[in-house]
């Protein structure tokens, strides 16, 4: 494999990894606990203030 072909392969892999990281960050940042959408049960026995993700 020539150096140019290897460099092109690495560039493609890097771009795929960038897309994956962006997707994962988007998933993590969107309603991480599910409470905003109502899909998760709230923590009822704990006070509603003073907690953060």
Q: Judge whether residue 10 has pLDDT over 70.
A: yes
**Site of tokens 């409470």:** 35
- Provide the pLDDT for residue 39: 59
Q: Judge whether residue 32 has pLDDT over 70.
A: no
**Angle subtended at Cα 40 by Cα 23 and Cα 21, rounded to the nearest 5 degrees:** 10
Q: How far is CA 13 from the centre of its chain?
A: 18
Q: Judge whether residue 7 has pLDDT over 80.
A: yes
What percent of the chain lies above the pLDDT cut of 70?
57
Q: Judge whether residue 35 has pLDDT over 60.
A: no
Residue-wise pLDDT tens digits, 40-50: 566 666 666 66
- Provide the pLDDT for residue 43: 61
Longest dimension (CA), the chain: 63
Two tokens at 14?
Answer: 């890097």
Q: How far is CA 30 from the centre of its chain?
A: 8
């Amino acid at each position: 494999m020539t150096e140019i072909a290897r460099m092109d392969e690495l560039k493609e892999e890097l771009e795929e990894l960038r897309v994956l990281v962006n997707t994962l960050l988007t998933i993590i940042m969107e309603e991480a606990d599910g409470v905003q959408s109502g899909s998760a049960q709230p923590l009822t026995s704990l006070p509603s203030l003073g907690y953060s993700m």
